[in-house]
Chain A
Amino acid sequence: MMRFMLLFSRQGKLRLQKWYTATAERDKKKMVRELMQIVLARKPKMCSFLEWRDLKIVYKRYASLYFCCAIEEQDNELITLEIIHRFVELLDKYFGSVCELDIIFNFEKAYFILDEFLMGGEIQDTSKKSVLKAIEQADLLQEEDEPPRSVLEEMGLA
């Protein structure tokens, strides 16, 4: 089971964090800081895995963003890399060649995508198509009950 997933930039700015086990804020902060330090210190040619505390850390860098997952000891590192890649693919499909800024400004969307893909630290759906379909449907639902702004505009005009 995946314990948590972090996205952070090369400058050490956290862009996304998802914890699949309830953790106290203080611990979260401490762990994030520690991990970022370790991962950012690693050279580009080094391997994507490291052991940290009782967990295995799998990370991969895409452009300026590091995707970093913490998995349990018995988990498969390679499949975790696959998960990261699949998530990047999903983001890419959704935003249309995704960049760091997309994730910064639409961070809640990024979370929604992640939530459709992973749940409770397990893969929810291995099919890209069905994940994207669920997101689209939910977004559609959101737009349906978006009228307030047009009402406001009417009223503003009135």
Chain B
Amino acid sequence: MALKIVKGSIDRMFDKNLQDLVRGIRNHKEDEAKYISTCIDEIKQELKQDNIAVKANAVCKLTYLQMLGYDVSWAAFNIVEVMSSSKFTYKRIGYLAASQCFHESTDVIMLTTNQIRKDLSSPNQYDTGVALTGLSCFVTPDLARDLANDIMTLMSHTKPYIRKKAVLIMYKVFLKYPESLRPAFPRLKEKLEDPDPGVQSAAVNVICELARRNPKNYLSLAPLFFKLMTSSTNNWVLIKIIKLFGALTPLEPRLGKKLIEPLTNLIHSTSAMSLLYECVNTVIAVLISLSSGMPNHSASIQVMKYLGLLAMSKILKTHPKSVQSHKDLILQCLDDKDESIRLRALDLLYGMVSKKNLMEIVKKLMLHVDKAEGTTYRDELLTKIIDICSQSNYQYITNFEWYISILVELTRLEGTRHGHLIASQMLDVAIRVKAIRAFAVAQMATLLDNAHLLTGNMQRNGICEVLYAAAWICGEFSEHLENPMQTLEAMLRPKVATLPGHIQAVYVQNAAKLFATVLKSQEGNTDSTAAQETSQLMIDRLPLFVQSANLEVQERASCILQLVKYIQKLQQKDVEVAEEVNALFAGELNPVAPKAQKKVPVPEGLDLDAWINEPPSESESEDEQPKAIFAKEEPKHSRPRHTEVDEKELARRREVRKQEQANNPFYIKASPSSQKVYQDTPGVEHIPVVQIDLSVPLKVPGLPMSDQYVKLEEERRQKERAEKKKKVKKNRKEKRSGRGKKHDSGPESEEDITPAHLVDIVTEEMPEVCWSCYSQKQHSNCLSLCFGFPRPLADSEKLPVRSHRAAEALKSPVEDGDARSAAIQEPKKKSSKEKREKKKDKDRDRKVKLKYFFENYVPFILKIALPSVYLVDETMLFSPIKVYDIQGNLQDGSQVVVSVIFENKCDSFLKSMEFNVLDSLNTKLQRPEGSGPHDGLAVPFQLPPGVSNEAQFVFTVQSIVMPQKLKGTLTFIVKNEDSSTHEKLDFKLHFTCTSYLITTPCYSDAFAKLLESGDLKSSSVRLEGVNMPFHHLLARICFHHHFSVVERIDSCASMYSRSVQGHHVCLLVKTAGQTVNVDAKCDEPTLLGNVLDEIKQTFSQC
């Protein structure tokens, strides 16, 4: 027996162990199969032995061979034998082999039940563990049924190591034996709150898997999971929980809302991509399941949608292609009820357009424009459409006829604020895309014809701005007009007079251009009456505009009227005038880059500052020959100016321009040389412009439908493609080398789509176009003005200049007022000849003083007087000025009473005065009930010459912490013996913060208490160079800023005031020499800051 043991042991020494087997296999690469078959024979021998160690070794080797793909099912019973070894080493190998080799149809499994049960209840936790691990791989329904109870007991084992394995294996048991679920579930639920994180995560895993199969049963666990989700920091667990919620939310939509916050927190805070991915996944899953059939609970979807769009817009910046594929989805979002989602979607669309999809996207947007409710959204749509189309220099537009049609369609929008936007697009396209002009002109003519459709509610309707563009385009490119006469008549209809002034002005000017064109065509005919009739039409209609209240319109109309009258005279003498009239408007406009001027070098020896003519001596008043200028004005432009402009004017203008240069950083010097070049070359044909012949001459009657162009464009592209294909074929034939089918018929790429028209870009940069200049065509003399316009008026420009015509491109309320007054003063001047001598010198003074007059009014006092302030008499101008006062109303914290003194300083009778102020959000003029928010208030008196009277106006103010300036207008009728004119005067109302303060006495103890309370914010200001006695200083503050002195000790004083809304303002004023320190406290820091600024300003003026 002993020998037998020894023999067995010795045999074993020569047995191959696993390492030997592996090595052997590696050494027999050529005849692996043969080697392995001998090994298997050896293993079979080993398995026949009684020694369990030998058997275990054999089983281990078999497991390896099994992995290599050899059938080991014949050894199943031996595996069971090894499994049942009492030694952990062998048991471990046995279970491993079982887990690798056994499956449900392995019949020996039935024999293992008892063995496994024994192992499960083993005192050694690793025995139990190994058994559980093995069982998890080969559990059968029978095993599950028989062992379910034992495993359930193990779920409450003392060792977490066993608990977690037991919990995990329960899932397998449930799958094989579902009946076990009900009794086991309570215990499983308990494990969710197991103190050991491993067990907890195992429980989460199992329940999560279960819930995915049948979520309904697990809804009750939602609160528990919610708690886990917000408390757990284990990403592995979190992922499972989030997945679980993804399964639960479709059943309980309220969950979705609750989840948003923790999910967003996780998304923002986690650095683990896997967790982030799961969150997003769940969000999307929830989104999809919710949107299908849960219409009631849409709030969370909306949030998700919004977030999704937001995320897309972020992606768009870096990966536009990936977002473009979701175009349809995004377009769908435009249908959303929620405006903020629609706006987001719009934002996205902007970045998504390409040449290929532009038309489609815009078509969809146009549909939405029609459907859209609410002007804000509609306006937003409109601006987006224009933004989308015009972005990067019309990069994506391939057919400009389509674009013009879109613009024309947009004009049908009612109540939009963006008329000017459409207008500027029309102008831009018409000017820069030469090929489109004929089409654009035809469309614009239709617009003008149907102007009454656009101008339903004239004043409030921004859309009438497009008429501005329409009129200009028709006038400028009138040679393309089919029936210029008809358009001319449309432009001279009486109804035009109801349009805003600047549009009327363009109408008048362009009517003249049209007139020229019409004349040209009519003079060719032998019948001269037609031409005369046209002139007569002009003469009949223009007076309507001459009476206009708008200076610009009036001026142009009277110019042109005189011109036409003159032409008519010539016509009656049978003189051919058409050519000369046309010369007025000859020359073509071309876009110019803003920096183009800079590129023209200043010729050597040219001193731009040097006088060309002798500086003006004196005398020669600028207000001579007032009438003549009007008549000569127009022809002047077409000829070189130098000879005609009087020296005085030139010098003055140069002065103005120099000032302007100094004041305006954007000013580009207009060198005389460049002007010369401009005039020498007739037209500007030398600028290369690509002309492209159109292949789309489809004529669309009436208002165009952009849709037609979508189709046309398709056809055009197809044609192009076909042509290209032909070309490719040709090339291929020539080449004959069949290297590849590169260009076959794949989808057409971006670059393949060639635009139908070219955008005319003269230089690489877009011109900063100044429309007012284009429309007036004053190339020679307003060159300097149009660059950099608009900008704030320089002081010098506020001068009431006689020759305001030179600066007519500049329009501002102030200047309007100035110019008007200049007109008024004319008759008077003749009577004050003796003063003329002095006037020249005073010009400068007046400039300064006027500036003072308009801007530097002392806080809370504003001066206003009627037109006569511009009269020559200086003493009159600044003699005892009528003040008007802004005073808060203590009873009502939001009311301020403004007293205005009106003084008539001219010789005429003034009546029907109307006082009107442009309300701001904060400050509004109180108007009687029933009147509109823009109506003026009638001043309740009339003013004979030299009389003054006071009127009070009540304003409501919301916030008093900031100073405010309001613009206002005073309209009135000036009545002379023979005539009366309607005039207006612009002014500004300055509401300082001081004017909201009310002098309130305060006792020193109350004052001290107030300072101690600590509610007040402090601030301080230092005044330098104040040269006055201290009590004067205090009196000044008291008087100008409504403070009262609380206490005064030597060179130190405390002061107090209260605002109408109850803010306390405390000052501590200290003086040392010429320096005054003001420390201040107030419960409203903004108010305090502004009051201090105003105090500082008061003292800077003395």
With contacts A20-B137, A76-B239, A126-B236 taken as known, whether A112 is within 8 angstroms of B96 at the C-beta atoms is yes
Are B22 and A79 within 8 A (Cβ)?
no
Q: B234 in the interface, Cβ–Cβ < 8 Å?
A: yes
Are A156 and B92 within 8 A (Cβ)?
no
Provide a sorted-by-A list of 30 A–B residue pairs whose CB atoms are within 8 angstroms: A16-B67, A17-B100, A19-B137, A20-B136, A24-B105, A25-B103, A76-B278, A78-B274, A79-B274, A104-B22, A105-B19, A115-B99, A119-B132, A119-B136, A119-B168, A122-B209, A124-B168, A125-B198, A126-B201, A134-B161, A138-B92, A138-B129, A145-B87, A148-B53, A152-B9, A152-B12, A155-B9, A156-B6, A156-B10, A156-B13
Further 5 A-B residue pairs, CB within 8 A, beyond A25-B71, A138-B129: A76-B281, A78-B274, A108-B18, A108-B93, A116-B133
Are A141 and B126 within 8 A (Cβ)?
yes
Listed in ascending order, the chain A residues whose CB lies under 8 Å from chain B are 1, 14-20, 22-25, 29, 74, 76-79, 81-82, 104-105, 107-108, 111-112, 115-116, 119-120, 122-127, 130, 134, 137-138, 141-142, 145-146, 148, 152, 155-156
Minimum CB distance partner of A75 in chain B: B243
Are B169 and A141 within 8 A (Cβ)?
no
Q: B996 in the interface, Cβ–Cβ < 8 Å?
A: no
Give the contacts of B1-43 with A (CB-CB under 8 A): 5-6, 9-10, 12-13, 18-19, 22
Q: B164 in the interface, Cβ–Cβ < 8 Å?
A: yes
Question: CB within 8 A of B212: which of A18, A74, A115, A126?
Answer: A74
How many Å lie between the Cα of A20 and that of B171 in the bound state? 12
Are A122 and B103 within 8 A (Cβ)?
no
Are A122 and B274 within 8 A (Cβ)?
no
A contact residues around B168 at 8 Å (CB): 119-120, 122, 124
Are A22 and B198 within 8 A (Cβ)?
no
Are B206 and A122 within 8 A (Cβ)?
yes
With contacts A78-B277, A107-B67 taken as known, whether A122 is within 8 angstroms of B202 at the C-beta atoms is yes
Contact with A along B134-148 (1 / 0, CB 8 A): 001110100000000
Are A23 and B103 within 8 A (Cβ)?
yes
**Closest 6 pairs between A and B when the two form their complex, measured CB to CB:** A78-B274, A22-B103, A120-B136, A142-B89, A115-B133, A122-B205
B contact residues around A115 at 8 Å (CB): 96, 99, 133
How many Å lie between the Cα of A111 and that of B201 in the bound state? 22
Q: B1047 in the interface, Cβ–Cβ < 8 Å?
A: no
How many Å lie between the Cα of A99 and that of B92 in the bound state? 24
How many Å lie between the Cα of A112 and that of B100 in the bound state? 12
Question: CB within 8 A of A79: which of B73, B96, B278?
Answer: B278
- Smallest CB separation, B231 vs chain A (Å): 16
How many Å lie between the Cα of A146 and that of B89 in the bound state? 8
Minimum CB distance partner of A83 in chain B: B236
- Smallest CB separation, B132 vs chain A (Å): 7
With contacts A79-B239, A107-B64, A126-B198 taken as known, whether A119 is within 8 angstroms of B133 at the C-beta atoms is yes
Contact with A along B173-206 (1 / 0, CB 8 A): 0000000000000000000000001100110011
How many Å lie between the Cα of A79 and that of B124 in the bound state? 33
Give the contacts of B51-96 with A (CB-CB under 8 A): 53, 60, 63-64, 67-69, 71, 73, 87-89, 92-93, 96
Are B96 and A81 within 8 A (Cβ)?
no
B contact residues around A126 at 8 Å (CB): 197-198, 201, 234, 236-237
Are B88 and A138 within 8 A (Cβ)?
yes
How many Å lie between the Cα of A74 and that of B289 in the bound state? 15
Are B132 and A74 within 8 A (Cβ)?
no
Q: B102 in the interface, Cβ–Cβ < 8 Å?
A: yes
A contact residues around B198 at 8 Å (CB): 124-127, 130
Q: B335 in the interface, Cβ–Cβ < 8 Å?
A: no
A contact residues around B13 at 8 Å (CB): 152, 156
Are A111 and B274 within 8 A (Cβ)?
no
Q: B677 in the interface, Cβ–Cβ < 8 Å?
A: no
B contact residues around A16 at 8 Å (CB): 67
Q: B715 in the interface, Cβ–Cβ < 8 Å?
A: no
B contact residues around A77 at 8 Å (CB): 277
With contacts A122-B206, A152-B9 taken as known, whether A14 is within 8 angstroms of B88 at the C-beta atoms is no
- Smallest CB separation, A61 vs chain B (Å): 19
How many Å lie between the Cα of A19 and that of B236 in the bound state? 22
A contact residues around B124 at 8 Å (CB): 141
Minimum CB distance partner of A142 in chain B: B89
Are B236 and A79 within 8 A (Cβ)?
yes
A contact residues around B140 at 8 Å (CB): 22
How many Å lie between the Cα of A156 and that of B68 in the bound state? 36
Question: CB within 8 A of B171: which of A15, A122, A130?
Answer: A122
Question: CB within 8 A of A22: which of B129, B132, B138?
Answer: B138
How many Å lie between the Cα of A152 and that of B172 in the bound state? 43
How many Å lie between the Cα of A18 and that of B136 in the bound state? 12
How many Å lie between the Cα of A81 and that of B206 in the bound state? 20
How many Å lie between the Cα of A56 and that of B133 in the bound state? 24
Minimum CB distance partner of A107 in chain B: B64
Q: B165 in the interface, Cβ–Cβ < 8 Å?
A: yes
Minimum CB distance partner of A133 in chain B: B161
How many Å lie between the Cα of A128 and that of B99 in the bound state? 23
B contact residues around A81 at 8 Å (CB): 274
A contact residues around B102 at 8 Å (CB): 22
Are B209 and A119 within 8 A (Cβ)?
no
A contact residues around B53 at 8 Å (CB): 148
How many Å lie between the Cα of A76 and that of B239 in the bound state? 8
How many Å lie between the Cα of A19 and that of B134 in the bound state? 11
Are A22 and B281 within 8 A (Cβ)?
no
- Smallest CB separation, A55 vs chain B (Å): 15
Q: B588 in the interface, Cβ–Cβ < 8 Å?
A: no
A contact residues around B89 at 8 Å (CB): 141-142, 145-146
Q: B1102 in the interface, Cβ–Cβ < 8 Å?
A: no
Q: B273 in the interface, Cβ–Cβ < 8 Å?
A: yes
Are B18 and A105 within 8 A (Cβ)?
yes
With contacts A22-B137, A141-B126 taken as known, whether A120 is within 8 angstroms of B169 at the C-beta atoms is yes
How many Å lie between the Cα of A22 and that of B101 in the bound state? 9
Minimum CB distance partner of A115 in chain B: B133
Q: B104 in the interface, Cβ–Cβ < 8 Å?
A: yes
How many Å lie between the Cα of A120 and that of B133 in the bound state? 8
How many Å lie between the Cα of A145 and that of B86 in the bound state? 10
Minimum CB distance partner of A80 in chain B: B274
Minimum CB distance partner of B8 in chain A: A152
Are A14 and B68 within 8 A (Cβ)?
yes
- Smallest CB separation, B103 vs chain A (Å): 4
Are A125 and B138 within 8 A (Cβ)?
no
Are B129 and A134 within 8 A (Cβ)?
yes
- Smallest CB separation, A25 vs chain B (Å): 7
How many Å lie between the Cα of A53 and that of B89 in the bound state? 39
How many Å lie between the Cα of A16 and that of B273 in the bound state? 28
How many Å lie between the Cα of A23 and that of B103 in the bound state? 6
Are B277 and A76 within 8 A (Cβ)?
yes
A contact residues around B281 at 8 Å (CB): 76
Question: CB within 8 A of B103: which of A20, A24, A116?
Answer: A24
